[in-house]
Chains A and B, each alone.
Chain A
Amino acid sequence: MDSRALFTDTIAMLERVLDFRSQKHKLIVSNIANLDTPRYQAFDLVFEDQLKEALNEAGSADVKISDKGHFPIGIQQDIHLIRPRIVSSPSINLSNDLNTVDIEKEMGKLVENNLMYNVAVQIIGKKFEGIKNAIKEGGR
C-alpha cells in the first residue's frame, strides 16, 4: 500500500515547514548572539512566498476547478523542490560598527517563528489524531 494514501501531502508539507522554521530559528538565534559583534551581517530565511506559490499552483487531478470561487485542493508542485532564500536581513545600517542586527526585529521574528512552528506541530498532531480516529472508531 502506498503510504501516501494514508499520510497525505499535508503531512509532508508540514514536515517541510517545520524544517524551514527550525533553520530560520537557527539564523535568528545567530543574529541575536552576535548583537554586539562588529561588522556582523544579519541574515534571514525567506520561504513563505514560495510555499504560498506552491499551494496556489495546486489543483489536484481528481478535483477540477470549474469556477473562480472554488478553492484548489491538494498540492501538485513537489514541495521538496521549494528552495528557501537567504537574504541579508535589514537594508539600512544605523550603527557605527557596521553591525546590521536589529534586535527588536529579531526578537519579533523569534516569537513569530516559534508560534508558527507550534502551529505546524499542532496541525500535524491533529492530522495523526484524525487518522487514528478513523482506524479505531470506525467499527463502532
Chain B
Amino acid sequence: MDFLTALKISSSGLSAQRIRMNVISANLTNIDTTRTPEGGPYRRKDVIFAATQVNSPFQNILESQIKGRVYQVNVEGIYYDNSPSRLKYDPGHPDANDEGYVALPNITVIEEMINMLSATRSYEANVTAINATKNMALKALEIGRG
C-alpha cells in the first residue's frame, strides 16, 4: 500500500485551500481600491476547484477497484466576479463620476470572512487527514518491531 498517494491527495487539498486563502486576503486588502492596472475599481476574485485523477506509481489488482474514484483537488483557475460595483456618493473623490458616485469593488466583508472560515476548516480537515495517514504508516512499521 502506498501511503504516499494519500499524502499527495491531502497536500493537494492543503495547497488548494492556501491559494483560496491568498485570493480571499487579496479581496479583503483591496476592499476600497478604486484604481487597478486594468482600469476601474478592483474586482472580486474567487478560485475554481476541480477534482483531478491521481496517478499512482504502484498499481495493483486491489488498486484497480478504487481506480478512477480517488481524486486530488486542483485550482483550475481564478475568475473575476462579474457582479456590479458598489456605488458610493463621494463627490470629492478624484475617481468620482459626473454624478459624484465612486465605483468601489464588489466585495462584501461578511462574504469574505465566511469564505475564510470555510477555507481554514477545510485546511484543518486536510491536516487531520495527513496526521491519520502518518499514524497508519508508522503503525504498520510496528509489525516488524520486537
Contacting pair B125 A36 (CB below 8 A): no
Report A45-76 residues with CB < 8 Å from chain B CB.
Answer: 45
Among B73, B125, B129, B146, contact of A37 (Cβ-Cβ < 8 Å): B73
Most buried by A among B5, B69, B72, B139: B69
CB distance from A86 to the nearest CB of B (A): 6
Q: How far is the CB of B27 from chain A (nearest CB, A)?
A: 16
Q: How far is the CA of A12 from the CA of B31 in the complex (A)?
A: 61
Q: List 17 A-B contacts (CB under 8 A).
A: A23-B1, A25-B133, A26-B70, A33-B10, A33-B71, A33-B72, A33-B73, A36-B20, A37-B71, A40-B51, A40-B71, A83-B65, A84-B65, A86-B65, A106-B125, A107-B125, A111-B132
Given contacts A22-B136, A23-B66, contact A121 B51 (CB under 8 A): no
CB-CB < 8 A to B5: which residues of A?
26
Shortest CB distance B61–A (Å): 10
The A126-140 residues at the B interface (CB cut-off 8 A) are 128-129
Given contacts A20-B62, A25-B133, 4 further A-B contacts (CB under 8 A): A23-B1, A30-B54, A37-B71, A110-B132
Residue A124 interfacial (CB < 8 Å): yes
Residue ranges of B at the interface with A (Cβ–Cβ < 8 Å): 1, 3, 5-6, 9-10, 12-13, 16-17, 20, 49-51, 54, 62-63, 65-66, 69-73, 118-119, 121-122, 125-126, 128-129, 132-133, 135-136, 139-140, 142-143, 145-146
Residues of A contacting B: mostly: helix
Q: Quick check: B132 and A22 within 8 Å, CB to CB?
A: no
Q: Which residues of B contact A45 (CB under 8 A)?
A: 66
Q: A111: which B residues are within 8 A, CB to CB?
A: 132
Inter-chain CA distance A114–B139, complex, in Å, is 10
Q: Is B51 within 8 A of A25, CB to CB?
A: no
* Shortest Cβ gap from A83 to chain B (Å): 7
Q: Given contacts A29-B10, A86-B69, A114-B135, are A36 and B146 in contact (CB under 8 A)? A: no
Q: Are A124 and B73 in contact (CB under 8 A)?
A: no
Q: Nearest chain-B residue to A14 (Cβ)?
A: B143
